Structure 1
């Protein structure tokens, strides 16, 4: 039943459906987990910026050469024909994430996720220029003036330089880094390298400098489906409510004995996503353990046992024992090991040559004056080896007859694909009907580099 809409009174102001997120000022945490996060940040960023510069036997250690359709990965060159190998590698990576999420919760988010690592780096730059939490808050509240403009300008200049180097390093995984850096120093970057450098630099600047925890809360799908991989034994960061409650201020007003929590809120101040872990496990928590470090520091000063906030599990929190081996972890582990074994097998059995023999379909066959029957074939050979090779080409008929070929060799450069038009000739009495030829391509200087391929030979109908 419809009726008149209620009128708003001064005591009932209109409510917006959208509320902008409050800016966070994460406080610096000190402790073993903070040191571990710092070590992980330097190790991962160092690896990211160093890898494009490294070379192996004259080739970049990591280079995804899309125009040439070659992928140089740690001394191995992969081609589009190796798609199954790349797919297996991605499957292993996904199962690794699932397995470690089941065992250790969101440790990836807290220590190794690119969003976390670059946000931590940007925060480190921000603290170095603007100071600690209270100094940054004070600077935000201060009116604009020469000092504020200079400090903010220095911070953004450092951010932009760091983001630009990040974007250039990312492009260095697709374009040889030494050439790219030389072009950048001479301000002669080409169109696409320049575009992607600016694009990824701007993305880094925006995500790590401004969006930060909003990416984890609203954009990252991992935070949404992680609960499907959690069980009662998954490692989480939790507050010991039985030990900490009632908090000091609440206990003082109610006259009850106080718990160990003194309500200093340091666990909230150091949290990079701005949650209060004392309200229970929340999907925003990235398990970085900054709150654990802050609380342990306070408990140490208060001469109370550490671990009011700690890594634990739901079962352990309820008085049980943590179980590493349980049906879910065993299932994920078994699938992960199977995929890892499959990937290793594919890698070990991977041939350094790819051979394809295509019969010319424009004519069935051609008969020469001397009675021999000719079929034409296009031989495509991909040499995945690091060296160029001269390859001998041979063919044998189904009855063991050696087939005459012209030409009988082809040269293919390292990590290149070569092709040759080859004529196969059989005597008239050996070339009746349709039969199968077995082509063999073998490196002249290395007999272990060989590949076989079957193709049809069409001769004169008897």
Structure 2
């Protein structure tokens, strides 16, 4: 009788192992540190700056006003958000076509905060080998103390990051004391907690998993690559066959390539790939492997560049590497660059030439028409006035459309609209029944406005059409 095969358990999902990258040192690591410091300086410091008596950059969503230094944007300016998104998209396409995933490796928030978490790991737990050893140790007082210290630092960073994020939408000089006084609003508390937790979860727990499995950019980047795109590559022709050898032995004498198979390029990789296996979508272009390999090449007295920024065409000897810079000005790069320049120019021009005072005429639908004490027909309107200036504005409204027409509800001195605010003013327009028969009649509002401190300045004019309902 045949023996029955033993039952086997097949796991459809394999949990990923924790990656503990070695801290890379070198020119590209220095560039990455500089970019991280600049981006975080912008993120953490700008909300604390003041401009004309208010927070310099504030996205006041409840008040529907965005303040960006001397520029005030209102809901009608959402078109500039579209322009900014187009600018960002084409900027990313353009840069990816030139140099691959440099954004991912140096400035992406996921990379930036993951790097900060790795700095904390290295500061508290030590280098890669010490961290690996600590993870294997049983729990004891020493391990608990080290882990507690690390997570305390991580909590401080994540909490302050969350509070700063909320401070871009709520005045931060009021927000921070409110947190410590336990008087913070529910919306601000949720924003800070959500962003702080997202920073902890994405940058410390998930880390490279976000880049590998969650980021859509890693999936469609290949559509923007071509043979002339700068990528991080391993020179297989020079490096193979790889193998260990004595320090003072040349690769020719050893009968091997320049790669000594030290695996340092793998140990420093934050996503845990081996660049020697070729171009992979997981590679974020951080160049840590280049720094690690160059350091080994220096120790072996071999020339640098076994792993380097190059192009696939140059590796295939289609042209010498000295021609790489000339290949940057190819049609795809030029096309993206032209579109990027046009979008940027249009965005800047329209931003600085937009109407900073706007008026919306809103007909009161509750009362279509009524007769006032003077026997005139009267319609009710709400003037919604938006002042996107940094200075108070005074508006002098008038109305036309009938031989006899009156505008009531407005002071003779005009309507004062505070800087960067939106107000609603109810008014009444009246005319005699002889001029306004049944149905709708076109009328026109005219608003002459100027700064409150420029009494002698020439007034600017806004005209808005409306309709008057007759009896």
TM-score, with length taken from structure 1:
0.90
Please say if residues 404 and 432 of structure 2, whose CA atoms lie closer than 8 Å, have aligned partners that are also in contact: no
1:175 matched to 2:186 = no
Aligned-pair distance for 1:143? Answer: 2.1
Residue 93 of structure 2 is matched in structure 1 by: 98
Q: Distance in 1 between matches of 2:207 and 2:261?
A: 26
Q: Distance in 1 between matches of 2:210 and 2:362?
A: 51
* More deviation, 280-289/296-305: 296-305
Aligned-pair distance for 1:342? Answer: 2.4
For residue 270 of structure 2, give the secondary structure of its aligned residue in structure 1.
Answer: coil
Residue 310 of structure 2 is matched in structure 1 by: 312
C-alpha RMSD of the superposition: 2.7
Aligned-pair distance for 1:427? Answer: 6.0
Residue 423 of structure 1 is matched in structure 2 by: 428
Q: Distance in 2 between matches of 1:442 and 1:31?
A: 63
Q: Distance in 2 between matches of 1:149 and 1:378?
A: 65
Residue 203 of structure 2 is matched in structure 1 by: 208
* More deviation, 32-41/441-450: 441-450
Residue 161 of structure 1 is matched in structure 2 by: 156
Residue 392 of structure 2 is matched in structure 1 by: 388
For residue 429 of structure 2, give the secondary structure of its aligned residue in structure 1.
Answer: strand
For residue 328 of structure 2, give the secondary structure of its aligned residue in structure 1.
Answer: coil
Residue 19 of structure 1 is matched in structure 2 by: 14
Please say if residues 65 and 75 of structure 2, whose CA atoms lie closer than 8 Å, have aligned partners that are also in contact: yes
Q: Distance in 2 between matches of 1:132 and 1:363?
A: 75
Question: How many pairs are equivalent?
Answer: 450
* More deviation, 211-220/416-425: 416-425
Please say if residues 388 and 414 of structure 1, whose CA atoms lie closer than 8 Å, have aligned partners that are also in contact: yes
Instruction: Please list the CA deviations of residues 24-78 of structure 1 after superposition, one character each: whole Å capped at 9, or x if unmatched.
Output: 1111111110000011111111111112211211121221212212222232221
Residue 451 of structure 1 is matched in structure 2 by: 462
- Alignment counterpart, residue 340 of structure 1, candidates 341, 344, 348: 344
1:353 matched to 2:357 = yes
- Alignment counterpart, residue 186 of structure 1, candidates 181, 188, 208: 181
Aligned-pair distance for 1:435? Answer: 4.8
Q: Distance in 2 between matches of 1:163 and 1:448?
A: 51
Residue 441 of structure 1 is matched in structure 2 by: 447
- Alignment counterpart, residue 297 of structure 2, candidates 296, 299, 306: 299
For residue 455 of structure 1, give the secondary structure of its aligned residue in structure 2.
Answer: strand
Do the aligned partners of residues 129 and 329 (structure 1) sit closer, same or farther apart at CA in structure 2, a change above 3 Å counting? same
Please say if residues 245 and 260 of structure 2, whose CA atoms lie closer than 8 Å, have aligned partners that are also in contact: no
Do the aligned partners of residues 448 and 141 (structure 1) sit closer, same or farther apart at CA in structure 2, a change above 3 Å counting? farther
Do the aligned partners of residues 108 and 369 (structure 1) sit closer, same or farther apart at CA in structure 2, a change above 3 Å counting? closer
Q: Distance in 2 between matches of 1:267 and 1:366?
A: 82
- Alignment counterpart, residue 71 of structure 1, candidates 66, 71, 78: 66
How is 1:80-159 mapped onto 2 (pairs within 5 angstroms)? 80-159=75-154
Please say if residues 363 and 382 of structure 2, whose CA atoms lie closer than 8 Å, have aligned partners that are also in contact: yes
- Alignment counterpart, residue 283 of structure 1, candidates 254, 265, 281: 281
For residue 192 of structure 1, give the secondary structure of its aligned residue in structure 2.
Answer: helix
Aligned-pair distance for 1:384? Answer: 1.4
Q: Distance in 1 between matches of 2:315 and 2:29?
A: 24
Q: Distance in 2 between matches of 1:364 and 1:310?
A: 74
**Consecutive unaligned residues in structure 2, runs of 5 or more:** none
Q: Distance in 2 between matches of 1:195 and 1:379?
A: 35
Please say if residues 353 and 450 of structure 1, whose CA atoms lie closer than 8 Å, have aligned partners that are also in contact: no
Q: Distance in 1 between matches of 2:379 and 2:350?
A: 35
Q: Distance in 2 between matches of 1:352 and 1:66?
A: 19
**Consecutive unaligned residues in structure 1, runs of 5 or more:** none
* More deviation, 374-383/164-173: 374-383
Aligned-pair distance for 1:374? Answer: 4.1
Please say if residues 368 and 380 of structure 2, whose CA atoms lie closer than 8 Å, have aligned partners that are also in contact: no
How is 1:235-246 mapped onto 2 (pairs within 5 angstroms)? 235-246=230-241
How is 1:399-410 mapped onto 2 (pairs within 5 angstroms)? 403-408=405-410, 409-410=414-415
For residue 382 of structure 1, give the secondary structure of its aligned residue in structure 2.
Answer: strand
Aligned-pair distance for 1:259? Answer: 0.8
Please say if residues 8 and 14 of structure 1, whose CA atoms lie closer than 8 Å, have aligned partners that are also in contact: no
Aligned-pair distance for 1:407? Answer: 3.3
Do the aligned partners of residues 391 and 307 (structure 1) sit closer, same or farther apart at CA in structure 2, a change above 3 Å counting? same
Q: Distance in 2 between matches of 1:144 and 1:179?
A: 43
